[in-house]
Copies of this chain bind each other. A is one copy, B any other.
Amino acid sequence: MSALYGRVALIGLGLIASSMFWGIRRGTLAGEVAGYARSAETRATARQIGLCDEVCDTIAETVKDADLVVLCVPVGAMEAVAKEMAPHLKPGAVISDVGSVKRDVIDSVGPYVPEGVHFIPAHPVAGTEHSGPTSGFAELFDNRWCLVTPAPGVPEAEIARLEAFWRGLGSNVDRMEPDHHDLVLAVTSHAPHLIAYTMVGVADDLRRVTDSEVINYSAAGFRDFTRIAASDPTMWRDVFLTNKEATLEVLGRFTEELFALQRAIRTGDGEHLHAYFTRTRAIRRGIIEAGQDTSEPNFGRGSGGGKGEV
């Protein structure tokens, strides 16, 4: 594929930005990639491992002459970055982001977008429990979905070019209305993460069960929660604070349903439980058929990595 953008600027050099760089290089999607991270340590690491063609010490230098600027910082940090970079943006440039929440990003970044610069929010639904500049890999976005939530009035050609860019990174692309995006992600991501964090915290608290017991017997199911609950704390704090309403709505429904099942356990209503557990199997099949997970037992973990569910 030939380069879709001349200069791409990546603001923030964590898992997503570093994976984007390796993916851009794999697909030759840009002429050059400039990167910036607030922490001098992260910039030094990036330079050591050859992450980005150029690592800059200021946001101004990084976005200078950039055709595409991608904000890869936690959602709560986007407004400050947008404000700082605004005066240095090239006319006609495209600003995008990779935030897990879209409405809040639109409201906080939008006001700082200069005339003649196009803001096209996006969210690559991909990642791992690892974070930081060394955690990226070119295949992260392969066969994952990237959701684009453009504002009305943005030139279709620019939206199409950004979508081609994400396809070049290996993603499937879909367009969505920002508020609907935030509700869908509250269901598929935000609520599950809070629940996993909660369960792991409870296990750690329960005085009558030692941590070594929790750890040794985690193969029984708990283990999968701990992986989710190992994700970046700052990123997730910001997600919950900025997608408050949708997350709380889904958690409300979750609690309602959980209470119904607790009641079925208490009253010994086996039929209710069996029917409920049978229904949930179908969703799993759908995910495997859609190519969003492997049908290998335990995600195809190696034996060393440990199989195990009970």
Contacts and interface: CB of A to CB of B under 8 A. Distances in A.
Interface of A: 15-16, 76, 100, 123-130, 135, 137, 139-140, 142-145, 147, 172, 174, 180, 183-185, 187-189, 191-206, 208-209, 211-231, 233-238, 240-241, 244, 247-248, 250-251, 253-255, 257-258, 261-262, 265-266, 268, 270, 273-274, 276-281, 283-287, 290-294, 296-310
B265 A215 contact: no
Nearest to A285: B230
Contact of A291 (B204, B214, B257, B306): B306
Contact of A125 (B184, B192, B220, B230): B220
Contacts of A292: 215-216, 218-219, 223, 306, 308
A233 B144 CA distance: 30
B237 A274 contact: yes
Nearest to A172: B216
B306 A143 contact: yes
A266 B248 contact: yes
B189 A221 contact: yes
B189 A222 contact: yes
A43 to B, nearest CB: 23
B125 A310 contact: yes
A219 B147 CA distance: 13
Contacts of A204: 279-280, 283
Closest 4 CB pairs of A and B: A294-B305, A127-B310, A189-B220, A128-B297
A247 B224 contact: no
Contact of A187 (B143, B206, B299, B306): B206
Given A215-B283, A278-B233, A187 B201 contact: no
Contact of A218 (B137, B251, B287): B287
Contacts of A244: 265-266, 268
B287 A211 contact: no
Contact of A261 (B76, B189, B194): B194
Contacts of A291: 304, 306
A185 B298 CA distance: 19
Contacts of A308: 125-128, 140, 144, 292
A221 B193 contact: yes
B253 A192 contact: no
Contacts of A234: 274
Given A185-B220, A196-B221, A236-B277, 20 more contacts: A145-B216, A172-B216, A187-B202, A187-B206, A189-B217, A192-B199, A197-B261, A198-B258, A198-B261, A200-B284, A211-B283, A215-B283, A218-B293, A226-B284, A231-B309, A233-B274, A237-B277, A244-B266, A291-B306, A300-B300
Contact of A208 (B183, B196, B278): B183
Given A201-B257, A215-B290, A299-B299, A221 B228 contact: yes
